[in-house]
Amino acid sequence: MNRRSFIQSAASGLYALAASNKLQAGSTASAGRRFQFPNGFLWGAATAAHQVEGNNLNSDYWLLEQLPNSPFIEPSLDACDHYHRYAQDIKLLAQLGLNCYRFSVEWARVEPVKGHFSRAAMDHYRNVALSCIEHGVKPVVTYHHFTCPIWFAAQGGWENPESIDLFARYCEKITRHLGDLISVACTINELNFTAQLDAKNFVPIERRKAVMSAAAKSIGVKHFSAAPLGEPKAISNNILKAHQKGRDAIKSVRPTLPTGMTLTMIDFQAAPGGEQKLKQLRYEIEDRFLKVARGDDFVGVQAYTREFIDENGFIPVQQGAELTQMGYEFWPNAIEPAIRRAASVTGIPIYVTENGVGTADDNKRIDYIEGALRGIQRCLEDGIDIRSYIHWTLLDNFEWTNGYEPTFGLVAVDRNNFKRRVKPSANFLGKIASSNSLPVSS
């Protein structure tokens, strides 16, 4: 079998399996047997500050978005104005039937100038957490989701070893200010993201350097480093240490707060001849990070798709594969192998902290959620300790360099007036969440 037909047959077989399991939540099937999720299972949706809040003026990404020749197709600007509309959004999330909200605290707002911690910004995030609690929703808080203060990037960002202590100090301040309200703490979102993009050569090194030097020039400094565009080895080494020190800082204030990192994971599959390369890449991108996570209370697993590896590395998505708006394969099965791998390498509880799909067809989102939940069900049946399913994302939002084009949200946002519109997929997930169960497929 050649490489292409191998991939196509693997894809069609598994997709047919997912489709045959199609759920009808809330209809006749729900009268039959149901798979019950563990008591206390968290059902939620996630956002990240920069992607939804709007006007994150002091952040490194804001600066990058404004550069001539920016790698971003458009700037974030007002985003979803979630900074002012969080109460309405949390109420909506609760009305859907979800019981947790994963949001991030924006470092660039909390420490806009090195060493100056904004009481007003920290109060804001305390209010966001209070609003969750008021609606019976558990706050799952990410301390750092990709964006950093400009001053931090201008002193070398994560390439600078001082980043470790600076992040720990920030973690301690946040925990002192709102830690009493937090249910689950994620230190750093996708701390292996730079390693993953580097291994994929997502942005060629010359382009990365050009963007960083244009950013440095624009603010009159020598060097500027915003992950994931900076020097990958230094970033990964420091960010791992920052996670550990940040975790210890959080625990020094609230020793019982479940704390962990989140990781971006891929359902790696070997094309013929790619087995060795797969092992090597998986070690560099995932396992070396998972091993560090062993010292944590949990690991946050985030998976969206699969990738095939041959003897030379990642190979492009094959013709005929169904694609998402992101250009990668529509692959609801991604989360199951990611969970199994994370659990077997770390031996600690798993929180699914992100999983979702960029699509304009909301029926596809429903299929995706269903496929993912079937995989989670199988993992639970095998005894894996999984504590949450948090969907990416609550709102159609700023999808980084892809701007507002990809729509990952359970809720659409009208960009002219910020009006929210609940999509059928939101109700689909909400019904499952409310019953904490899935109909058993025949």
Two structure tokens written together for 329:
């394969």
Considering only residues 27-56, where is the footprint of ligand BGC by CB under 6 A? 48, 51
Q: What is the smallest separation between the CB atom of 189 and ligand BGC, expressed in angstroms?
A: 5
In the complex, what is the shortest distance from the CB of residue 381 to ligand BGC, in angstroms, rounded to a whole number? 27
Shortest distance, position 440 Cβ to ligand BGC, whole Å: 31
Q: Are 30 and 24 in contact (CB under 8 A)?
A: yes
**CA separation for the pair 272, 265 (Å, rounded):** 21
Closest CA to 226 of 65, 118, 82: 65
> Of residues 70-109, which lie at the interface with ligand BGC (CB under 6 A)?
none
Rounded to the nearest whole angstrom, what is the least distance from the CB of residue 291 to ligand BGC in the complex? Answer: 21
Q: Give whichever of 335 and 438 is closer to ligand BGC, judged by the CB atom.
A: 335
CB of 302 or CB of 346, closer to ligand BGC: 302
**Can you tell me which residue has the tokens 């019904």?**
431
Nearer to ligand BGC, 389 or 392 (CB): 392
Residues 200-219 that bind ligand BGC (CB under 6 A): none
Quick check: 392 binds ligand BGC (CB under 6 A)? yes
Among 163, 175, 189, 425, binds ligand BGC (CB under 6 A): 189
Please state the closest distance from residue 325 (CB atom) to ligand BGC, in A: 10
Binding mask 138-177 for ligand BGC (x = CB under 6 A): ----------------------------------------
3-state SS of the chain is CCHHHHHHHHHHHHHHHHHHCCCCCCCHHHHCCEEECCCCCEEEEECCHHHHCCCCCCEHHHHHHHCCCCCCCCCCCCCCCHHHHHHHHHHHHHHHCCCEEEEECCHHHHCCECCECCHHHHHHHHHHHHHHHHCCCEEEEEEECCCCEHHHHHCCHHHCCHHHHHHHHHHHHHHHHHHHHCCEEEEECCCCHHHHHHHHCCCCHHHHHHHHHHHHHHCCCCCCCCCCCCCHHHHHHHHHHHHHHHHHHHHHHCCCCCEECEEEEEEEEECCCCHHHHHHHHHHHHHHHHHHHCCCCCEEEEEEEEEEEECCEECCCCCCCCECCCCCECCHHHHHHHHHHHHHHHCCCEEEEECCCCCCCHHHHHHHHHHHHHHHHHHHHCCCCEEEEEEECCECCCCHHHCCCCCCCCEEECCCCCCEEECHHHHHHHHHHHHCEEECCC
Query: 263 vs 366, which CB is nearer to ligand BGC?
Result: 263
Q: Which of 399, 410, 433, 439 binds ligand BGC (CB under 6 A)?
A: 399
Closest CB to ligand BGC among residues 156, 232:
232
Nearer to ligand BGC, 264 or 425 (CB): 264
Judging by DSSP bridges, how do beta strands 420-422 and 411-413 pair with one another? antiparallel
Taking the complex as a whole, the smallest distance from the CB of residue 301 to ligand BGC amounts, in Å, to: 12
CB 90 within 8 A of CB 427: no
Contact between 60 and ligand BGC (CB under 6 A)? no
The residue whose Cβ lies closest to ligand BGC is 48
Taking CB under 6 A as the criterion, the residue among 65, 106, 190, 307 binding ligand BGC is 190
CA distance 362 to 357: 10
Smallest gap, in angstroms, from Cβ of residue 162 to ligand BGC? Answer: 25
In the complex, the smallest distance separating the C-beta of residue 127 from ligand BGC, rounded to whole angstroms, is 23
- Give CA–CA dist 229/372, Å, rounded: 31
Contact set for ligand BGC, span 306-365 (CB under 6 A): 354
Nearer to ligand BGC, 51 or 238 (CB): 51
Which is closer to ligand BGC, CB of 189 or CB of 236? 189
Omega before 272 within 30 of 0, i.e. cis? no
Number of residues counted as binding ligand BGC (CB under 6 A): 10
Least distance from ligand BGC to the Cβ atom of residue 9, Å: 28
Q: Which is nearer to ligand BGC, 47 or 225 (CB)?
A: 47
Distance CA 190, CA 266 (A): 12
- Shorter beta-carbon distance to ligand BGC: residue 50 or 85: 50
**Site pattern 248..287 for ligand BGC (x: CB under 6 A):** ----------------x-----------------------
Binding mask 284-303 for ligand BGC (x = CB under 6 A): ------------------x-
Q: Is the torsion defined by CA of 120, 123, 128, 131 positive or negative?
A: negative
Q: Which is nearer to ligand BGC, 163 or 189 (CB)?
A: 189
Which parts of this chain interact with ligand BGC (CB under 6 A)?
48, 51, 189-190, 264, 302, 354, 392, 399, 408
